[in-house]
A and B are shown apart, each in its own frame.
Chain A
Amino acid sequence: MLNYIAQRAALAIAVAFTVSLAAFVLLNIATDPAYAIAGEDADPEVVEQIRQRFGLDRPIWVRYGEWLMNVLRGDFGVSYYWNKPVSALVAERVGTTLTLAFAALFVTIAIAIPLGALAALNRNTWIDRFALWVAVSAQAIPNFWLGLILIILLAVTFPIFPVSGDATWRHFVLPAFVLGASSVPPVMRLMRTGLIEVMGSDYIRTARSKGFRGRSLLTRHALRNALLPVVSVLAVQLGHKVGGSVITESVFAINGLGRLALQSILGADIPTVQMLIFIFALVFVAMNLLADILNAALDPRIRIG
C-alpha cells in the first residue's frame, strides 16, 4: 500500500511538472506578458522597459529552466501582474476557494444522493424520470448561465442573496449551488445505478426474508454498499471543485484561486499561472489517489498494490 502511494505521489509530481512545461510554452506562444502588463495603449518603449525588468527578453528555455530551479528550492517566483510572491498570493486565496469547494460538494451531496436513491427505489416511475431530467439539465446548463440566472432571480428580482463578493456566508450560497450543480449528474447516476444493483443482490434478498423492510433495509444494508463508489467519485469531484471554479468565481466576483487563474491567464502572468497549474494538477492527482485509497479501505474486496 505504501509503495503504491509513493508511486502515485511521484506520478503526481511528474504530471504537475509536465503540465507546467506545457502551460509555460503555450502561454509564451499565445501572449506577450510585457504587452499584457503595460496595457493596450502603452508606449512601445514602456513595453520594452517592462520586458527587460522581468527578464522577458531572454529565451523561453532559459526562463523555464530558471523557474524550474527556483521551484525545486521552493520559490515559485514573483507575480508580474501583482508584483508580490506567488506563494503569498495563493495563500491569501486558497481558503476562499476551499470554502467554496466544500460548500459546493455539500450541495452536490445534498441533491444527488437523495435524488439518486429516490430514482433507484422508484425505477421507471415519474420520480425516476424527474431525477433523470435534473441530471440532464444540470449537465447541459453552463455554469455561467446558471450563475447569471440565479443572480437575476435570487439577487436582483428577489434580493435574498448578494449579487457578488465573498464577504459573508450569504455570498457563497449561490456560487456553491452553481458549482455544486455541475457534479450532481455523475453522483446521482452513480448512486442510482449502485443502489439498483445492491437492491437486486442476494444479501438484500436475504435481509428481506428476515423481515427487513423500508428505511431499515435501506439505511442498514443497501445504502452502505451503494455509497462505496459514490465516495470515491466525490473525492474526484472535490478536485474538480478546487480546480474548476474559474467561471463561477469570476461570475460571482469571488476572490479565490479560480478567479486568480483567469486574471493571471488574461494578464499573461506566467509565474502565477505556473504555480496554479502546478497546484491544480497536484490536487487532481491527489484526489484520484484518495479515491483509490478510500475504495480499498471501504471495500475489502479491492486490493491495491
Chain B
Amino acid sequence: MTARLHRILGPAVLAAGLAFGPGVAAGPEDDTLRAAMTGEILNLDYLYTTRREYIIMANMTDARLFNMNPETQEAEPSVATSYEFIDDMTVEVKLRDDVRFHDGSLLTAADVAYTYNWVIDDGSESHAQTLISRWLDRAEVIDDQTVHFHLAAVNPLIIRDMAQRVPLRKDGSYHQGDEPDFDAMAIDHIGVGPYRVASFNPGVEAVLERFDDYFGDAPAIENIVVRTIPDVGTQQAEIMAGGINWMFNVPLDVAQNVGMRPDIDHLAGPDLRISFIVLDAAGIVEEDGPLTDVRVRRAMNHAVNRDEIAEFLMGGGASEGIHTPCHPVQFGCVQDVMRYEYDPERGRELLAEAGYPDGFDLDLWAYRERPVSEAVMSDLEAIGININLRYVQLESLNQARAAAEIPAYIGSWGSGGVPDTALIARVHFSDTSDRHLSGDSEVVEWVMAAEQTADQGARAEYYRQAVTRIAEQAYWVPLVSYTANYLVTSDLDFPLDSDGVPRLENSSWR
C-alpha cells in the first residue's frame, strides 16, 4: 500500500519538493551537528542554572579548573595544571598560561579568584553558591598563574566541585555597571570552552562554533546547533527527516522503533539516576503507623520485583534492580548490604508477623514513570497492602512532602552526573531536608561526617555504615537504575560515558 502510494504520489511530490526547495539537512556536509532538546535553554551561564540541559551546554562553552575523567572518576588537569594542599585549610592551584577567553583575552589567576569570590558572595545569588560556600572562605591571587583557596571547612568534594560546578569567568564579568548584573553571561556568553557562542535565541536555538584558541584538544565537529523542540514526536520526525542528528531522553518505545531505521542508531547508555520508595519510618505522617515497623518495610522490599521492572519497563540495558539508596557505581555505595530478593510469600509472612495479616491502606505518591509506579503498586497489593496511588506533578508532591502529608513516595535522583554518594545522601538523610523520613539520627551523623573529612578512606567507611543501616532497616525500597536512551544519525559517532552525562563536544563524524 505504501509502495503504491509512493508510486502514485512520488513524481508529483518530487516536483513539488523541487519547487519548494530542499530543507536543511543536518550532518557532515556542512560539518554541523544539530541537536534537539525538550527543555528550553534560556541561560548559558551555568553559575545560574542547574538542569541537565545546562550541564550539556556548559561542557561545550566553558571549562573548569579540572576535568573529572568519567571512567576513572579522577580529577585531571584542565585550566589548572595541578593542585596542592599547602596546609589543612589552603589549597594552591597552578594554572596554565595559554588559556584564552572567547573574546581573545588571556585567563589569569585574577579571573579565577574573581569567579570563585563572586560565587560565594551573598549578593551573587549563584546557584553554585550553597555548594561552594560549604568549603570556600575566599580565593586569593598569588601570581598570574597561582591561586590560593582559603577554606572555610574541610570538605572531601573540593576538587570535584572545582571540576564540575564552577565555570570560569573574566574578572569583572558581573560588575560592568553600578549594580551587579546576574545575567551578564546569560546570553552574551564568554567562556573558555571548546565552543564559543555564535548566536543564541533563548528557548529557540543556540549556535556554537569551534573555538580555535581553545587550550585543549580541538573538537572534531566545527559547529553545533542546539534547538529546543518541546515535542518528542516532532524531534522524532526531525531526526527521520534529517533535520537533527541527536536527541536524548528518548522514551524507550520511540528509541526502539526509530532506532530500527538503517540511518538512525538507538544508543542506550548508563545514567546515574535511580528510583526508590521513601518510607515514613519515623512516623512523621502517622505516628505508630505500619511503616514504623521494620517488618512491614522489609515486607515491602520483598514484594517488589525490581529486576523485572528494570528489564521490561525500563528497557534493560544499563538499567537494573538496585538494593542500595545510591547508584552502585557511586563512591561509597557499598553493595554488600542486606538484600531483599523478590519473594511475595515472605512479604506476606512479614506483614502477618507485624500484625497486618490483612494488609493496610497506604497512600503511595509518585510523579515519574507511571508504568513503574503502577507495577510497584501491583506488587505491593499482591502482598495485601491496599495502595492508593497518588500520581501527581512533581510540584504537588514537593508541596505535600513539605507539609508532611506523604507516608510513602516513589522518588528519583540523578546526582547531576556526580558518581559520589554525597549528594543523594545529603539531600535524603539530613535533618534539614523534608525528604528525610527515616528519623535515624545515626545515619544523619554518618552522612554529615562523611562530608567533613577529606580522607577518602574515612568517607567510604561513613557511607558504608549509613548505606548498610539504611538497607538493614529498610528505610527505602530501592527500585532500579536508569538507562539513558539516545537517537543519533548513523553518520555521527557519539561516545557514551559511564557517568551518564552527554558530551556532545566529544562527537565526531564517522
Interface set of A (CB-CB < 8 Å, partner B): 30-32, 35-36, 38-46, 49, 53, 81-83, 144, 148, 151-152, 155-165, 170, 250-253, 255, 259, 262-263, 268
Q: Are B395 and A44 in contact (CB under 8 A)?
A: no
Check if B327 is an interface residue, CB within 8 A of chain A.
no
Given the known interface contacts A40-B412, A162-B243, A253-B228, the answer about A151 and B234 at a Cβ–Cβ threshold of 8 Å is yes
- Hey, which chain B residues are within 8 Å of A144, CB to CB? 231, 233
Q: Give the residue among A31, A38, A158, A251 with the most B Cβ atoms within 10 A.
A: A158
A30 and B396 contact, CB distance less than 8 A: yes
CB <8 Å contact, A155 and B241: yes
Partner of A159, one of B17, B186, B230, B234: B17
Bitwise, B213-254 to A at CB < 8 A (1) or not (0) is 000000000000001111101100110110100000000000
Q: Is B202 an interface residue (CB 8 A)?
A: yes
- Number of residue pairs across A and B with beta carbons under 8 Å? 121
Q: With A44-B432, A53-B125 in contact, is A160–B16 under 8 Å at CB?
A: yes
Instruction: State in angstroms the CA–CA spacing of A57 and B434 once bound together.
Output: 17
In-complex Cβ contact of A83 among B20, B43, B238, B240 (8 A): B43
CB <8 Å contact, A41 and B416 = yes
Interface segment, B126-134, B166-174, B296-304? B126-134
**Is the beta-carbon distance between A263 and B434 smaller than 8 angstroms?**
no
Closest residue on chain B to residue A255 by CB atoms:
B204
- Chain A residues near B20: list those with CB within 8 A: 160-161, 170
Instruction: Say whether B130 contacts A253, CB under 8 Å.
Output: no
A41/B414 in contact, CB under 8 A? yes
Contact A252 B42 (CB under 8 A): no
> Is residue B388 contacting chain A, with contact meaning CB distance below 8 A?
no
Q: Are A44 and B241 in contact (CB under 8 A)?
A: no
In the complex with contacts A159-B22, A163-B234, A253-B398 CB distance below 8 A = no
- The distance in angstroms between the C-alpha atoms of A288 and B64, with both chains bound, is 57
Q: Pick the contact of B229 from A81, A157, A253, A268 — CB < 8 Å?
A: A253
| Best-surrounded residue of B24, B125, B231, B394 (most CB of chain A within 10 A) | B231
Tell me if B393 counts as interface (CB < 8 A to partner A).
Answer: yes
B237 interface neighbour in A35, A46, A151, A250, Cβ under 8 Å: A151
- The contact size tier of chain B is 35 or more
Residues of B within 8 A of A35 (CB): 394-395, 398
CB within 8 A of B17: which of A160, A251, A255, A268? A160
Which chain B residues (176-233) contact chain A, with CB distance < 8 Å? Answer: 183, 186, 201-204, 227-231, 233
Question: Is B433 located at the chain interface by the 8 A CB criterion?
Answer: yes
Tell me the B396-427 residues at the A interface (CB within 8 Å).
Answer: 396, 398-399, 412-416, 427
CA distance A25 to B235 in the complex (A): 34
Query: In the complex the two chains form, is A49's CB within 8 Å of B395's CB?
Result: no
Indicate whether B4 reaches chain A with its CB closer than 8 angstroms.
Answer: no
Q: Is B51 an interface residue (CB 8 A)?
A: yes
Q: Which residues of B contact A38 (CB under 8 A)?
A: 50, 127
The CA of A112 and the CA of B127, in the complex, are separated in Å by 53
Residues on A with beta carbons closer than 8 Å to the beta carbon of B427:
43-44
**Among the listed A40, A81, A252, which residue makes an inter-chain contact with B234, where contact means beta carbons less than 8 Å apart?**
A252
Contact of B42 with A82 in the complex, beta carbons under 8 Å? yes
12 sampled A-B residue pairs with Cβ under 8 A: A35-B394, A35-B395, A36-B395, A40-B412, A44-B434, A44-B435, A45-B130, A49-B130, A148-B234, A151-B237, A250-B231, A253-B231
Is B230's CB under 8 angstroms from A148's CB? no
CB within 8 Å for A39 and B395 given contacts A250-B230, A263-B40 = no
A41 to B39, CA, bound (A): 15
A83 B183 Cβ-Cβ under 8 A: yes
Whole-angstrom CA separation of A16 from B241 in the bound complex: 42
A53-B125, A148-B233, A263-B203 known; A163 vs B243 contact (CB < 8 Å): yes
B13 at the A interface (CB under 8 A) = yes
- Complex: how many Å from CA A175 to CA B219? 37
Task: From known contacts A43-B427, A49-B129, A82-B42, infer whether A30 and B231 are also in contact, taking CB-CB under 8 Å.
Answer: no
Are B229 and A255 neighbours in the complex by a CB distance under 8 Å?
no
Which B residue's beta carbon lies closest to that of A52? B125
Q: Which residues of A contact B415 (CB under 8 A)?
A: 41
Most chain A Cβ neighbours within 10 Å, of B20, B21, B183:
B20
Say yes or no for B9: interface residue by CB 8 A criterion.
yes
Q: How far is the CA of A161 from the CA of B237 in the complex (A)?
A: 12
CB of A94, distance to nearest CB on chain B (Å): 15
Closest to A251 in B: B231
Residue of A nearest to B15 (CB): A160
Cβ distance B23 to chain A, nearest Cβ, rounded Å: 5
Contact of B13 among A32, A41, A158, A253 (CB under 8 A): A158
A81, A148, A170: the one contacting B42 at CB < 8 Å is A81
CB–CB A268/B395 < 8 A? yes
Q: Which residue of A lies closest to B129 (CB)?
A: A49
A40-B227 Cα distance, complex, nearest whole Å: 22
Q: How far is the CA of A36 from the CA of B42 in the complex (A)?
A: 14
CA distance in complex: A251, B237 (Å): 11
Contact B40 A41 (CB under 8 A): no
| Cβ 8 A contact of B230, one of A43, A151, A253 | A253
Interface centre among A49, A160, A252 (most CB of B within 10 A): A160
Smallest beta-carbon distance B501→chain A, Å: 13
Chain A positions within 8 Å of B13 at CB level: 158, 160
Contacts A36-B395, A158-B9, A253-B230: A163 and B238 contacting too (C-beta < 8 A)?
yes
Of the residues A39, A44, A152, contact of B51 by C-beta under 8 Å? A39
Q: In this complex, what residue of A is CB-closest to B19? A: A160
Cβ of A159: which chain B residues have Cβ within 8 Å of it? Answer: 17, 22-23, 241
A-B CB proximity, top 5 nearest: A158-B13, A31-B395, A39-B51, A45-B130, A32-B395
Q: Which chain B residue lies CB-closest to A252?
A: B234
* Chain A residues in 8 Å Cβ range of B399: 32
Which residues of B have CB within 8 Å of A162?
Answer: 23-24, 243
Smallest CB-CB separation from B182: which chain A residue?
A83
With both chains docked as a complex, state the minimum distance between the C-beta of B322 and any C-beta of chain A, in angstroms: 17
Chain B contacts for A81, CB-based, 8 A: 42
Contact A253 B227 (CB under 8 A): yes
CA distance A53 to B42 in the complex (A): 18
For B9, the closest partner residue in chain A by CB is: A158
B414 surroundings in chain A (CB, below 8 A):
40-41
Q: Do the beta carbons of A164 and B394 come within 8 Å of each other? A: no
**Which B residues are CB-close (under 8 A) to A151?**
233-234, 237
- Residue in contact with B240 in the complex, picked from A41, A156, A170, CB distance below 8 Å: A156
Q: How far in angstroms is the closest Cβ of chain B from A177?
A: 15
Judging by beta carbons under 8 Å apart, are B50 and A255 in contact?
Answer: no
Residues of B contacting A39 in the complex (Cβ-Cβ under 8 angstroms): 50-52
